[in-house]
Structure 1
Amino acid sequence: MSDPSTAGPTIDSMDTSVGNRFAPYGPENHSAPLWIVSILGLIYAIGVLSIRLFIKRRVFGWDDSLIVAGTLTGLIQAIVFFKALKSGLGQVPEHITNLSTTGSLAFAAQILLLIALYLAKCSGILLLRRLFVRDQQNTGRLCDVVLGFTVVCGIATVVMSSAGCLPTASFTEHCSSMNTRWSVITALDIVTEVILLVLPAYLVWQLQMKTSYKLRIVAAFCFRILVIIFSILHLVARIKYTDSQPSPFNIVQPLIWHQTLLAWGLISATIPNLKAFLQSLSASWGGADWGYTVKAYGNGTFEMKSMGTQPRSHAMASATGTENATEMDQKYETRIQTRRAGERSSLGSGGSQDMIIRKETVWTVVRS
């Protein structure tokens, strides 16, 4: 009868520790899933950003600048995260030569991840402000308040995740009240995401458009629902980790969800910018009625009647118009022209490349 002590170890079907592999997966090394999710997330985020930059190369705005900053922060985070993986993150402590270095790198990557996540949120708010706000002060103030609240939440999140914690001791002891910290961080994340889901619906329902087009616009922002789901899954995994022994091996599951959260947060901030969604907002596809003629470098005109017997010095023609449309990848120029008895004067607006869903324009033409 064979001695149990001499029996070979149980073989895991997922074990790839034998052989020359870039990121082996074995009973004492679970770094491979972290490599996969972080690399794929980075590729997808940069790929979607490239599409956005191509689409909006002529209408680049502050919302685009923030998502670029967020993606660059995510890229730096990925580099730091890769260094942490190379130093032993995802492995049992016995295989790591410098546990403090691994902890410091993972700690820094976590802070960068949270910053990138909130930069993506701010980009989404500025996109809403750019699309729906022109001269409407109330709507503008609402977007500004939401932006300020999101910035405060982002700062609070970074502070709560790091205050009182020693980076070099990340994998030797837990920070105090970590479950409470991450519960609050997740709550702030969910609150800001719910606002980003409700705000577009509130703004778009004030427009004079078909309900189908409104729903299509709202649907473009609803992809952020997954951010809430990933945030909750990360919290559940984080609480399980906090209740166990701190270790670069035990923290694998929370980090997988955190990397997934970052990738989708960056991607979902760009989805509303894709042309497939923006096309539904244009006059050509949306069938909007224009208050005045707008063409790409066109010469649309108004025929204004004479003011009758009024003295020429007091003759004045005025009009007010409201338009509901989006100006996308081409320049637009609006011209208002008046004619009277062989005389002609004109007033032209500057060329515009901005993306607008709702714009209210008031003009007055005075003839003296």
Structure 2
Amino acid sequence: MYLGRDVSVLESRAPTVKGVMWVMSIVPLIFVLMRLYVRFYLRRVFGWDDAIAIVAIACLIAYAAVCHVAADLGLGQHLVVVQQHPENLMQVALLCNIGESLAIMACTLGKTSFAVTLLRIVVQRWMVVVLWFVIVTMNVVNILTALFVFLQCKDPRHLWNPMIPSECWPSDVFTNFSLFVGAYSGAQDFILALLPWTIVWNLQMKKKEKIGVAFAMSLGIFAGAASIVKTTYLVALSAKADFTWELAPLLIWAAVEDGLAITAASIPALKPLLVKVFPSSAPDSYNMIKYPPLPGRKVFDNSQGETQTDIGHTTVHDSSSQAEIVGPGSPKCESINLTTEVSVTYKHGL
């Protein structure tokens, strides 16, 4: 049937599409389930960041399912092959549009979940402002992108059935906007990955624990790297000659970015599970580095371990925002302490 034609038309990216989609959905699903186990059963708490993570993983699984069906119908094959079944071609185009919107929302919600987690930790006003700016702008531009997938034409049906006439945007308009959103999304990944280092490095913790906690909270940098690669494939959005073939790498890298973003957002919540499963491998605590008492200073212990006071140096148990790094309800050995310098002047003989 294909004698005399380039044998490349027989190539198919469909198996790769299916494999990557499901791997990048199942792995973050496992991490989200572990996160929920920690939050529900070990910590007895549930926050907005957890709810957002659930919606994000649901969007990602739906994205994988849609792309799997599209791959069965011709996604990942050359257009010359898929055109032999015109009804399949229209379904592939429709499913790809739906998949693009689902991928955008999964990515946005995954990063939003992590940003909301950071909001419970940060104490400096400028960090709060930065996080809210990231959350608002990220959701606005990505929701617009998800809508523009279907709003490029007055009659959206033209997108998957060219036989239906409709006025549409020039193909490069949506592509250029998507390039901007892809670059902006990658920049947000790096911002969210760097903020934990600023937060954790100012805490009174052992240096190796600082590095471990900060690294666990900044794994979103890998999602940023995937976003950069994905952005290089965004030109495929305007490819019409062989779109069933050209779109496959873009959709694959979108799944990689989504999966890494959701996984990175869930990892910081898993420390209590690590302590439960591998008690000997976890750090002893997140307590401050102990300072030796200075000569000539009296030391008072008035709270059986939670508050140690000496004249001029006070350590107060902090159950506020910084304690969110280990989660509410953490045992005393996992607390984070706030150190306050106190100067006291007194006269002898009074």
TM over 0.5: yes
Aligned to 2:20: 37
Q: Which amino acid in 2 is paired with 1:145?
A: F
Mapped to 1, the partners of 2:142 and 2:104 lie a distance apart of 7
Q: Which amino acid in 1 is paired with 2:241?
A: Q
1:85 equivalent to 2:75? Answer no
Aligned to 1:94: 83
Query: Does the Cα contact within 8 Å between 1:117 and 1:265 map onto a contact in 2?
Result: yes
Query: Does the Cα contact within 8 Å between 2:179 and 2:234 map onto a contact in 1?
Result: no
Question: Quick check: which has more Rg, 1 or 2?
Answer: 1
Query: Does the Cα contact within 8 Å between 1:132 and 1:203 map onto a contact in 2?
Result: yes
Mapped to 2, the partners of 1:6 and 1:161 lie a distance apart of 35
Q: Percent identity over the alignment?
A: 22
Aligned to 1:346: none
The Cα shift of 1:149 comes to 2.9
Query: Does the Cα contact within 8 Å between 2:111 and 2:265 map onto a contact in 1?
Result: yes
The Cα shift of 1:115 comes to 0.6
TM-score, with length taken from structure 1: 0.67
Q: Which amino acid in 2 is paired with 1:40?
A: V
The Cα shift of 1:108 comes to 0.9
1:106 equivalent to 2:106? Answer no
Once structures 1 and 2 are overlaid, which stretch shifts more, 321-330 or 41-50? 321-330
Mapped to 1, the partners of 2:224 and 2:236 lie a distance apart of 19
The Cα shift of 1:62 comes to 1.4
Aligned to 1:214: 210
1:309-331 CA distances to partner (integer Å, 9 max, x unpaired)?
xxxxxxxxxx9945365685784
1:43-90 CA distances to partner (integer Å, 9 max, x unpaired)?
112112111112222232211111111011212222322332333322
Mapped to 2, the partners of 1:72 and 1:265 lie a distance apart of 14
The Cα shift of 1:270 comes to 1.3
Aligned to 1:21: none
Query: Does the Cα contact within 8 Å between 2:316 and 2:339 map onto a contact in 1?
Result: yes
Aligned length: 302
Aligned to 1:66: 52
* Greater RCO (Cα-Cα under 8 Å, separation 6 or more): 2
Q: How does 1:253-268 map onto structure 2 within 5 Å? A: 253-268=249-264
Once structures 1 and 2 are overlaid, which stretch shifts more, 43-52 or 154-163? 154-163
Mapped to 2, the partners of 1:187 and 1:292 lie a distance apart of 54
The Cα shift of 1:276 comes to 7.3
5+ unaligned residues in a row in structure 1: which ranges?
13-25, 304-318, 335-354, 362-368
Aligned to 2:192: 196
Query: Does the Cα contact within 8 Å between 2:179 and 2:231 map onto a contact in 1?
Result: yes
Mapped to 2, the partners of 1:6 and 1:331 lie a distance apart of 66
Query: Does the Cα contact within 8 Å between 2:236 and 2:243 map onto a contact in 1?
Result: no
Mapped to 1, the partners of 2:324 and 2:3 lie a distance apart of 72
The alignment partner of 1:177 has SS state of helix
Aligned to 1:154: 142
| Match for residue 232 of structure 1 among 217, 228, 234 | 228
1:131 equivalent to 2:124? Answer no
Query: Does the Cα contact within 8 Å between 2:53 and 2:110 map onto a contact in 1?
Result: yes
Mapped to 2, the partners of 1:219 and 1:270 lie a distance apart of 13
Query: Does the Cα contact within 8 Å between 2:17 and 2:67 map onto a contact in 1?
Result: no
Aligned to 1:288: 288
Query: Does the Cα contact within 8 Å between 1:107 and 1:167 map onto a contact in 2?
Result: no
Query: Does the Cα contact within 8 Å between 2:138 and 2:185 map onto a contact in 1?
Result: no
The Cα shift of 1:158 comes to 2.5
Aligned to 1:117: 107
Query: Does the Cα contact within 8 Å between 2:76 and 2:248 map onto a contact in 1?
Result: yes
Query: Does the Cα contact within 8 Å between 1:189 and 1:231 map onto a contact in 2?
Result: yes
Mapped to 2, the partners of 1:270 and 1:120 lie a distance apart of 9
Query: Does the Cα contact within 8 Å between 2:307 and 2:316 map onto a contact in 1?
Result: no
Mapped to 1, the partners of 2:126 and 2:229 lie a distance apart of 37
Taking a change above 3 Å as real, the CA distance of residues 360 and 107 of structure 1, as seen in their structure-2 partners, is farther
The Cα shift of 1:255 comes to 1.8
Mapped to 2, the partners of 1:215 and 1:183 lie a distance apart of 34
Aligned to 2:348: none
The Cα shift of 1:214 comes to 2.2
Mapped to 2, the partners of 1:289 and 1:321 lie a distance apart of 13
Taking a change above 3 Å as real, the CA distance of residues 145 and 333 of structure 1, as seen in their structure-2 partners, is same
